């Protein structure tokens, strides 16, 4: 185990086993079956401590209720989680339309947003975490994170896939093509729904991450993925069609996804939250969405949990 100014603390197999309270053989099972973060260097496994800690937190069930509460709403609306171009524009619209209020955003990824909401350090979390059944989003993840499920409101639906260079010079048509010699990718961080989808597609195609050139090169936003591809530093990156549209890149579609707002029930009727949700029904919001290919706002502002039940 060693540290430097450039490299975060790394654990050996024995050390990570002691940290988790398991035997060393179990560590290998956790790597292969449960996604325990690990790298292999000169034939030996090493484990970045900060990623192991994130993995433990992400797999924790039945969190205790947070003792610290956000203060009563006083004009500052805090949004955290997954980043999105239409969300950025909507925050700017909010700040323009309601000058006595200020909305701010922290890009933490979908899992980071849920964790911030659970800790009561934000008012709204944004998330697009695809569930194992590949039909729904966010419900299972929120159920594991919260003892009391938050309200979930749809912000938009958007098209996820892969950004590739203009005219697709590497002739990439499907995910299996990234095995080709010379193809380099750019990636998103472990906390993001985009990374979850990418890793799921790799698993389906039976592609090992370590075999992909550039897989460990992570950036923090969809736009940064697009800029890496636009610059030629990467030939492909997971991301959303709106970025491809703006940067005039080619796009390989995978699926339409539901991108949601999560709000705790006790803060749902806070003034700032209701003002923000109300914007999703306004013509200005719909016009912004229509100006960029890759968005569907037909369900924007609608509550998707708790679901309405017919009597």
Residue 160 has which token pair?
């996820």
Contacts of 48 (CB under 8 A, 6+ apart): 8, 9, 10, 11, 37, 39
Averaged pLDDT, 195-223 = 93
How confident is the model over 112-125, as pLDDT tens digits? 999 999 999 999 99
- pLDDT band for position 64 (cuts 50, 70, 90): low
Averaged pLDDT, 170-184 = 92
CA 263 to chain centre: 17
Mean pLDDT of the chain: 90
- pLDDT band for position 8 (cuts 50, 70, 90): low
Question: What is the set of domains in the chain, with CATH numbers?
Answer: 10-58 (1.10.10), 76-158+258-305 (3.40.190.10), 160-256 (3.40.190.10)
pLDDT at residue 1, rounded to an integer? 36
Using the structure block, give the residue that is written with the tokens 């010379």: 182
Cα distances from 226 to residues 126, 188, 267, in angstroms, run 21, 11, 35
How confident is the model over 133-173, as pLDDT tens digits? 999 999 999 999 998 999 999 999 999 999 999 999 999 99
Q: What percent of the chain has pLDDT over 90?
A: 71
Averaged pLDDT, 25-46 = 81
CA 202-13-46 angle, to 5 degrees, is 55
pTM over 0.85, yes/no: no
Averaged pLDDT, 244-264 = 97
Q: How far apart are CA 263 and CA 52, in angstroms?
A: 28
pLDDT above 60 (res 311): no
pLDDT above 90 (res 270): yes
Please, what's the b/e burial string for 230-242 (b: 16 or more CB within 10 A of its CB; e: otherwise)?
beeebbbbbbbbb
Paired residues of 260 in beta bridges: 127, 154
More confident residue, 23 or 82: 82
pLDDT above 70 (res 304): yes
Q: How far apart are CA 266 and CA 3, in angstroms?
A: 43
Averaged pLDDT, 58-80 = 76
pLDDT above 50 (res 273): yes
- pLDDT band for position 307 (cuts 50, 70, 90): confident
Structural contact between residues 240 and 255, judged by C-beta atoms closer than 8 angstroms: no
pLDDT at residue 62, rounded to an integer? 57
């Amino acid at each position: 185990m060693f540290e430097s100014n450039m490299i975060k603390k790394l654990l050996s197999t024995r050390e990570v086993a002691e940290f988790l309270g398991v035997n060393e053989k179990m560590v290998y099972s956790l790597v292969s079956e449960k996604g325990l973060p690990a790298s292999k260097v000169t034939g030996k496994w090493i484990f970045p401590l900060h990623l192991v800690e994130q993995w433990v937190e992400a797999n924790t069930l039945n969190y205790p209720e947070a003792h610290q509460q956000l203060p009563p709403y006083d004009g500052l609306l805090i949004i955290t989680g997954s980043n999105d171009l239409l969300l950025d524009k909507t925050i700017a619209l909010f700040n323009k339309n309601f000058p006595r209020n200020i909305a701010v955003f922290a890009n933490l990824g979908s899992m980071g947003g849920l964790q911030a909401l659970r800790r009561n350090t934000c008012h709204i979390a944004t998330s697009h975490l695809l569930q194992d059944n590949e039909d729904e989003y966010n419900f299972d993840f929120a159920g594991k994170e919260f003892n009391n499920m938050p309200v979930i409101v749809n912000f938009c639906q958007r098209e996820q896939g892969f950004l590739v260079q203009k005219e697709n010079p590497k002739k990439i048509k499907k995910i299996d093509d990234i095995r080709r010699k010379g193809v380099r990718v750019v990636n998103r961080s472990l906390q993001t729904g985009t990374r979850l989808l990418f890793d799921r597609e790799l698993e389906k195609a039976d592609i090992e991450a370590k075999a992909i050139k550039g897989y460990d090169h992570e950036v923090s936003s969809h736009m940064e993925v697009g800029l890496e591809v636009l610059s030629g530093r990467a030939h492909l990156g997971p991301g959303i069609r709106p970025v491809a549209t703006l940067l005039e890149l080619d796009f390989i579609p995978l699926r339409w996804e539901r991108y949601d707002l999560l709000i705790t029930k006790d803060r749902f009727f806070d003034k700032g939250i209701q003002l923000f949700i109300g914007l999703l029904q306004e013509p200005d919001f719909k016009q912004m969405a229509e100006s960029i290919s890759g968005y569907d706002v037909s369900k924007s502002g609608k509550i998707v949990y708790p679901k309405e039940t017919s009597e």
